[in-house]
Each structure stands twice: as C-alpha cells, then as structure tokens.
C-alpha cells in the first residue's frame, strides 16, 4: 500500500466533515482540527519527500565530483611522470636535450592547470556533501513533524469517540509542535 499524503489528507477531511454534521459543537471543533492537522501532515510529508530526494541528488552529484577529482589527480600524476622523464632526458644532454627541456616545462605548466581543476572538483564535492547533509537534516525534522501531526490526528479521533477534551488538547498541541518543527526545518 502506497503512502500518499494528499489522499490521506483528503480522507481525513472527509471524516472530519462527516463528524461535523453531528450537532455537537465539540465534535465540530475537533473535526475542524482534524482537517487542519491533515493538511499539515500532508504538507510535512510532501516536504519530507522533496528534502529526501534533494539529499540523494546532492550526494550523488558529490560522488560524481569526487570521481572527476580522482581522474584529475590521476592525470596530474601522469603529467608529473612525463615531466620528470623529460627532465631526466634533458639532463642527459644530447641533440634533443633542448626539446626535452621544453617538454618538461610544458608538462609542468599542464600539471598546474590539472591541479587547479582537481581542487575545483574537490571544492564542489565538499559543497555538495554539505548541501546533502542539510537536506538530510531537514528530512529528519520533517519526518518528526509529520509523525507528531499524524499522532495528533489519531488523538483527535479518540477525542471524537470518547468526547474527552484532554485528547483534543493533546492533538492540538501535537499539531502546533509539528508545525513549529516544520518551520524550524527551514530556519
């Protein structure tokens, strides 16, 4: 069975509407509370899903940047070997010594550019890792928020069945706590 926050919110609103048709003002107030809590739960659940997806996307992009950095560092090492080989050839002298010296210098210049590229990839990786962690923290907060609000909906149902205000008050407080945690997730 899939978890569809929008569908669940609609179902809770329908149950609240049916309860509101009773002539008891207490039941009507609790039914309205259920409707509001259902909307809060749907919003928190949807935001939770979005943040989870963003965390995964940023993490995947960070892995790609790490792979690109690793490739660049491999290229840097290969250029270093070529630079050193050309340098040794230039030190040996001979008719191509000047060519080897130029090649060694060319590899050194190329190496500096590759190093800068590798460091850029690593910086992008670090930024994406931090971004992923931020989305993951939001995801966790939104999970707590949605859970509190859903418990509030359940307590509202108990309040309607038992006609006891303490259950309604607890449901209301859980809804407020859930809304506060949702807001806090984005601060």
Residues 38-61: pLDDT tens digits?
999 999 999 999 999 999 999 999
* pLDDT over threshold 90, residue 106: yes
* pLDDT over threshold 80, residue 130: yes
pLDDT digits (tens, 9 = 90+) for 147-158: 999 999 999 999
- How sure is the predictor about 76, in pLDDT bands with cuts at 50, 70 and 90? very high
Handedness of CA 139, 177, 10, 157 (dihedral sign): positive
- Per DSSP, the three-state class of 94 is coil
pLDDT at 3: 64
pLDDT at 24: 86
Task: Report which of residues 23 and 112 the model is more confident about.
Answer: 112
Question: How far apart, in whole angstroms, are the C-alpha atoms of residue 145 and residue 121?
Answer: 36
Angle of helix 25-92 relative to helix 5-20, nearest 10 degrees?
Answer: 170
* pLDDT over threshold 60, residue 185: yes
pLDDT digits (tens, 9 = 90+) for 5-35: 666 666 666 666 665 566 789 999 999 999 9
pLDDT at 93: 87
């Amino acid at each position: 069975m899939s978890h569809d926050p929008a569908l669940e919110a609609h179902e809770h609103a329908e149950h609240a509407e049916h309860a509101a048709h009773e002539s008891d003002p207490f039941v009507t107030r609790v039914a309205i509370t259920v409707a509001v809590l259902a909307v809060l739960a749907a919003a928190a659940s949807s935001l939770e899903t979005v943040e989870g997806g963003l965390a995964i996307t940023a993490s995947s992009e960070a892995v790609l940047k790490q792979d690109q950095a690793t490739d660049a560092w491999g290229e840097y090492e290969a250029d270093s070997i070529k630079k050193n080989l050309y340098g040794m050839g230039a030190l040996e002298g001979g008719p191509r010594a000047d060519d080897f010296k130029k090649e060694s210098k060319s590899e050194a210049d190329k190496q500096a550019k590759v190093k800068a590229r590798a460091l850029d990839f690593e910086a992008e990786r670090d930024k994406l890792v931090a971004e992923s962690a931020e989305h993951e923290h939001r995801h966790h907060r939104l999970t707590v928020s949605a859970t509190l609000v859903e418990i509030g909906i359940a307590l509202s149902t108990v309040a309607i069945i038992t006609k006891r205000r303490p259950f309604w008050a607890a449901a209301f407080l859980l809804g407020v706590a859930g809304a506060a945690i949702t807001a806090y997730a984005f601060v």
